[in-house]
Amino acid sequence: MNSARTLTEHTLNPRTAGHPWSARADRLQSLTGLMLGGFLLLHMHFESSILLGKEVFYQVVQLLEGGMFSSTGHGFPWVTKAFSVLVLVVVCLHAALALRRFPTQLGQWRLLRSHLGSIAHKDTHAWFWQLITGFVLFFLVPVHLFTMILNPEIGPHLSAERVFHNNAWVLYALLLPAVVVHAMIGLYRVSVKWGWVVHRKPLRKVVKLLIVYLLCLGTSSLVAYMFIGSSLTLPVTPFSPAG
């Protein structure tokens, strides 16, 4: 087990081995990973409130955007913008720390491929899939966050317009499996790495169930936005409970 971890986390990128700040970087990477994994769990459930109806999703948006502090009850879109900037900063920090162990040379990729084919170590294979999904997310997540920063207006109709009429469903269809797999494996590896969980097999089963559950939840939400968007005519009128 130690040799597998050593090969995948250090030999592939030997420049990271032995640096005095490596342990601190590991802790910071785990911390930012926990923050992003927790955010994903909350975000997907907030988004899935569309499955309970337009008005429920509308009320959730107003709550998250601080509608209780507004005289009209409407939230402040700048809250979404500011939070998207914060998440982008955390994502960039997490990615920069993770790149320390990313194979950068063809020989390292060959070594990794040979290693994966020669052992049946589940955690090493999990790390490989986290590596691949992390590479995909490096391109997809900034697109999503920049979209929210530049256009923070969200709601049942406006979000459905973005998904259906602006073809954002393509981005989300690619983003959903990559981010779910990456985040859940990441939470598993952090729990094991810092000794929070001793028995790995039950935790792996929980992670697999979470991945299936979140994929079903996210897909159902995306389909709901598609159906709502297909019923809207341009220009789209923002949803209001009275209308």
- The C-alpha atoms of residue 86 and residue 106 are separated, in whole angstroms, by 35
**pLDDT for 88:** 96
- The C-alpha atoms of residue 134 and residue 95 are separated, in whole angstroms, by 8
Q: Is 10 annotated as a binding residue?
A: no
Predicted TM-score of the model (pTM): 0.84
| DSSP designation for 121 | -
| pLDDT over threshold 90, residue 161 | yes
What is the separation of C-alpha 21 from the centre of its chain, rounded to a whole number of angstroms? 27
Buried-exposed string 144-163: b where 16+ CB fall within 10 A, e elsewhere? bbeebbeebebbbbbbbbbb
- The C-alpha atoms of residue 107 and residue 124 are separated, in whole angstroms, by 18
**pLDDT for 46:** 95
Give the residue among 142, 132, 145 at the shortest CA–CA distance from 177.
132
- The C-alpha atoms of residue 109 and residue 13 are separated, in whole angstroms, by 10
- The C-alpha atoms of residue 163 and residue 167 are separated, in whole angstroms, by 5
Least confident of 80-84, 118-122, 177-181: 118-122
For the chain, which domains are there?
Answer: 2-230 (1.20.1300.10)
**pLDDT for 22:** 78
**pLDDT higher at 120 or 180:** 180
Q: Is 165 annotated as a binding residue?
A: no
Question: Tens digit of pLDDT for each residue in 66-81?
Answer: 988 887 778 899 999 9
Q: Is 115 annotated as a binding residue?
A: no
- The C-alpha atoms of residue 11 and residue 61 are separated, in whole angstroms, by 46
| pLDDT over threshold 90, residue 213 | yes
Torsion of CA 33, 38, 44, 46, to 10 degrees: -140
Residue 70 tokens, joined: 């507004």
101, containing H or E segment: none
Q: Is 19 annotated as a binding residue?
A: no
Give the residue among 51, 139, 46 at the shortest CA–CA distance from 91.
139
| pLDDT over threshold 90, residue 160 | yes
